[in-house]
Structure 1
Amino acid sequence: MTRQKRSDDWGFPRWRPYGAKSRDAARVRLCDRVGCDLPGDRPAPKSPNSKERWYFCEGHAAEYNKNWNYFVGLSKEEAAKRAAEEEAGASAFRRSAHYQWGGPGDGTRSRDEMRALSVLGLDSDAEYKEIRTAYRQLAKEHHPDLKQGDKDAEQRFREIQAAYDVLKAAEERKTGKPA
């Protein structure tokens, strides 16, 4: 009886898939973007409502899809049907938001805080000192006493004040003392 030799094939994906019968290197499709040497493993439609696909690397797929409108050329009913189908496939992500897995940023700030930071023109990781400085600067710029009769400046000042109130309350909750 002949004893079988143990295989040294660990199936590293770089060379071949697991359990491959052949020991030849696996063929890798390159990115369809001219001059790119990365693997093209992200499919993107060539035109709206088409089955044909380009295959890009992650960076080029993001660039290609940035301004893509999947609803172009569809009637309102068809667009609504497609949107409903896509939402049905993303229900797990929507449910995960309840557990703050799908929330904004790293989960340390609420959506209201993120909106408030965008009103003040700050990044999501801004410290309270930066928030206070940005608030004071914007409040001085848009204060109704400086721009009397300007309704836009008045509205902008209200938005800035509301954003600061949200962030101030969050800071007080976090530290346990008045900000």
Structure 2
Amino acid sequence: MPERQTRFHGRVPRQDRCDQPGCAEPGEFRAPLSAGDFDGPGQYRWLCLDHVREFNSGYNWFTGMTTEEIEASQRPYAGWERETRAFAHSGADTPPRWTDFRDPLDAINARFRTGERPRGDGKPLSGDDRRALKVLGLNADADRRALRQRYSDLVRRYHPDRNGGDRSKEGDLQKVVEAYQSLKGSPAFA
């Protein structure tokens, strides 16, 4: 069994040596050169694990702070007193029922306005439903009766038995059949 490698947050594998004088270990951890006020990335030195631990143990976040500033930064709700803006509700409609969709992404897309005109009866249409309606040449407000009528018209038009044995329209017939089968089971046409 291979030996498990130890991983440390912040380790950057490097071949350069530790910046601590006299250390021959690789410097894989970054530490700031000065502990002054933070104003941008600043300059860093590279230390080995032992020396970066030593550096971190001597680091004190509260150095230079008053007692009141220390207490204020240690409160459990520090930072939460700032007011935030409210979430906008203008981009979303009421959520659809998840059971009306086969694909969860279609349900999510149906919730947000996409510029497509909704059905008059309020029944949801998935992206697949809209593509199938386009294949059949129907609008979004078509009902089950219009769907069946359009399907039978297109089958008569494209079927080789009905158009003198012309098989050039078999691809179109297949698309019509697939679109009808998809829409027939859709909640919008139930």
TM-score for both structures, normalised by structure 2: 0.36
TM-score for both structures, normalised by structure 1: 0.39
Which one has a larger percent helix, Structure 1 or Structure 2?
Answer: 1
- The higher radius of gyration belongs to 2
